[in-house]
Chains A and B, each alone.
Chain A
Amino acid sequence: GIQVEQSPPDLILQEGANSTLRCNFSDSVNNLQWFHQNPWGQLINLFYIPSGTKQNGRLSATTVATERYSLLYISSSQTTDSGVYFCAVGGDYGQNFVFGPGTRLSVLP
């Protein structure tokens, strides 16, 4: 099956810093999403981005499908950005939807 890697596994930032999280996947996909899981376990869908670039406030994401990677940018980080960021990929119709191992982000005040 498809393999998903994320880097870095852990990241510690001072409030206000910027960061880039990376997701690599081993095969072509029609569905790629980024999720944030807060320290209380709630998962929030950040972006649906099988290709191209999207922005939502301080967050933006870019997927280069031909090179099988996606990047999540966090600018001016806040303590509420702490948690685990997951990249997940799969087919068009929900089949074989696989999460990467996640990047654990800690933003310090």
Chain B
Amino acid sequence: DAMVIQNPRYQVTQFGKPVTLSCSQTLNHNVMYWYQQKSSQAPKLLFHYYDKDFNNEADTPDNFQSRRPNTSFCFLDIRSPGLGDAAMYLCATSRDLAVAAGGYFGPGTRLTVT
């Protein structure tokens, strides 16, 4: 059974049109992460939630926002997508921060910006 679910798997949006990506988990993990992975590059951590506490990486653009309404769900909002935001977006969870940053990964959402 899938433990970290991302919807949709593929998303096409227009330049400048806001888009929301969704992640849900059945693990009841405290921590949820969002990563951006561009083609042939390593994943890059955007931010994470420890429970309801939001932690932004220093170089994450303001264009990227996140919401975590409850333990199971976390959303990535891109307010005004640019062509450079086309990438795979990976959601991950871990039981707590001290164990591992990014324990279980979802299958990703591939975002195309036209």
Contact = CB atoms under 8 A, between A and B. Distances in A.
Contact of A97 (B41, B45, B98, B104): B45
Q: Which bracket fits the contact residues of B?
A: 20 to 34
A86 B102 CA distance: 13
Interface string B58-87: 000000000000000000000000000000
Contacts of B102: 33, 35, 43, 45, 88, 97
B50 A94 contact: yes
Contacts, number: 56
Interface string A43-61: 1110010000000000000
Interface stretch (A14-22, A62-70, A72-80, A99-107): A99-107
B88 interface: yes
B111 interface: no
B107 A94 contact: no
A6 B50 CA distance: 29
Contacts of B21: none
A42 B42 contact: no
Contacts of A101: 41-42
Contact of A94 (B41, B43, B101): B101
A31 interface: yes
